[in-house]
Structure 1
C-alpha cells in the first residue's frame, strides 16, 4: 500500500506488498522490497536498496547506495524468517549496510531512534543499537553486539561479535574492541584499552557534578580496589547511591559472553 501523499520517482521500483506511509519520498533508481514498511516522512534517496522484512521509523533518511535489510553475512543462516527494525529520525549515510537477524540470535536486528550512521559503516545480524548512537565512517559492528544509548564509535573501528558497549561510552578511532566496555567509558588504541571516563560526553549531556564525581570514584575503585573486578563492582553497588554508578554495576554484573576492558 502506498499512501497518496508519498512521492515515488518514476525510475524507482516499489514491489507489491510494500507499505509506504504518508509524506515518504523514494528517489531515483531505488528499490523497495515487498515486505518493507516505511513510516511517515521517511526519505529514501537515489540508488538505495531496502529489502527483507524491514521497518523504518518516521522521519528517517537513507542516503545513496545504502543496502538495508539484506540477509546476514553468516554461513549458518538458512533462509529463516528474520527482521530488521530501524527507529525514528535516523540518518543512514552512503554505502551503509544493515542486515536482518538470524534464528540463533533472536531473529531481529534492532536500531533505536535519532542515530547517525556515517558512510560505509556496517550493522551486522542480531545487533541491538540504542538511541542517539553515532557510528562513524567505515566502522563495523559484528553479529550480536549490543550498543546502548548515547554511544559514539570512532571511524575505522571494529567491534567484535557479542561485545556490549555501555551507555554513554566513546570509542576512539581505529580501535579494535574485543571486550565489553563500561558505561561512560573512554576507549582508545588499536588493541582497545579503557583509558578513563567520557567526561566530555557526561558534561555535554548535563549530568550533575555529583554524579560525575561518583563515577570518578567508582572508576578508581574498579581500577585499584581490593578483590576481583567483579567483587569491586558488587561492593560499589552496596556503597553508592548514584544512579549512574548503579547502572555501571548492573552492566558489569549482567550476563555477557565476553570479558571486560578493565581500567589500567
Structure 2
C-alpha cells in the first residue's frame, strides 16, 4: 500500500505505484513516474517528467529536474536482474537528464550518494559508485561503475571517470579530462589522458587552509612525486611531515593505503600527457 504524507502534493497526471513512500511536503509534478520500491524523504521535489524507480531512497530536500532517471537498473551485462539499491542523501540537486543507477548483483548491490551534491545536466553515475558530500558533477560528466568520489570533489564538464577509480577529497578535475587512474586529495587534474597539473590551490584556499599549511602541503607533494619512486617517497614523507599538516598526511596516507586496482595519476605536461605509477 502506498504511504503518502498528507501534506504531499501530487499532480493528477503523475503516476505513483502502489508501495511507494512519499514524505511530508513532497511535490510531484505532471508526468512523473515513481516506482513501488521508492522512498521520497520530506520536502523532495520531482519536476515534470522526472523518473524515480528501483529500490531507491531519496533524502529530504532533494530536487529532481525533468527527464532525469534516478534508480535505473545497472548498465552491466553481468547483472542478474535482482533488485539492488540506490541511496541519495539530503539536499541533492539532479538536473535535466541526469542518470544514477542502482548497484549491481556482482558489485555489492548498492550505489550510495552523500548530501548537498549538485549533478548538472546529463551527468551520469554508474552502478556501485560511492559519491561523497558537497560534490559537483558538471554537465555531461560520466562516472563509471564502482568509482569512489570523495567529499568536495569538482568534476568539470565532460570529464570521464573510469570504473573503479578513486578520486580523493577536494580534487579538481578539468573539463573533458579522461581519468583512468586514482587521484590524490587536493590534486588538480587535466587533459586526456589525465595528468596532475599541481594542487587545487584555489579550492584549498577557499576551504580555509592557511598559507603556512598550503606551503607544507606543496612541500609534501613535491617530495612524493620527486621521481618515479612514489610509494617509497610517500613512506619517507609520512615521518617527515608527521604533525605538520593534516592535509599533507591525508595525501600521504591516500598513496600508501590505496586498495583499488587502478594505478595512480601522477604529474605530467600537456606536451607528453600523463604518467602512471
Classify the TM-score, shorter chain: over 0.9
In the TM superposition, what are the counterparts of 1:93-104 in structure 2 within 5 Å? 93-104=95-106
Deviates more, 1:23-32 or 1:243-252: 243-252
Structure 1 residues 183-214: Cα deviation after superposition (integer angstroms, max 9, x where no partner):
00000112111110000000111112232111
Q: 1:234 is paired with a residue of what secondary structure? A: helix
In 2, the alpha carbon distance for the partners of 1:179 and 1:25 equals 40
- 1:107 paired residue number: 109
- 1:262 paired residue number: 266
Deviation of 1:230 (Å): 0.5
**Contact kept? 1:42, 1:58, Cα under 8 Å:** yes
Deviation of 1:247 (Å): 1.1
- 2:14 paired residue number: 12
In 2, the alpha carbon distance for the partners of 1:215 and 1:109 equals 32
- 1:34 paired residue number: 36
In the TM superposition, what are the counterparts of 1:1-264 in structure 2 within 5 Å? 1-224=3-226, 228-240=229-241, 241=243, 242-254=245-257, 255-264=259-268
**Contact kept? 1:236, 1:245, Cα under 8 Å:** no
Deviation of 1:106 (Å): 1.2
Deviation of 1:245 (Å): 1.3
**Contact kept? 2:54, 2:83, Cα under 8 Å:** no
Extract unaligned runs of 5+ from structure 2.
Answer: 269-277
Runs of 4+ in 1 over 3 A off after TM superposition: none
- 2:272 paired residue number: none
Deviation of 1:246 (Å): 1.4
Deviation of 1:103 (Å): 2.4
Q: 2:267 is paired with a residue of what secondary structure? A: coil
Deviates more, 1:83-92 or 1:253-262: 253-262
In 2, the alpha carbon distance for the partners of 1:97 and 1:87 equals 16
Q: 1:233 is paired with a residue of what secondary structure? A: helix
Deviates more, 1:140-149 or 1:216-225: 216-225
In 1, the alpha carbon distance for the partners of 2:212 and 2:92 equals 32
Q: 1:105 is paired with a residue of what secondary structure? A: coil
TM-score by length of 2: 0.93
Deviation of 1:263 (Å): 2.2
Extract unaligned runs of 5+ from structure 1.
Answer: none
In 1, the alpha carbon distance for the partners of 2:62 and 2:120 equals 14
In 1, the alpha carbon distance for the partners of 2:210 and 2:84 equals 42
In 2, the alpha carbon distance for the partners of 1:44 and 1:178 equals 34
Deviation of 1:135 (Å): 0.4
TM-align CA RMSD: 1.0
Deviates more, 1:104-113 or 1:91-100: 104-113
**Contact kept? 2:148, 2:166, Cα under 8 Å:** yes
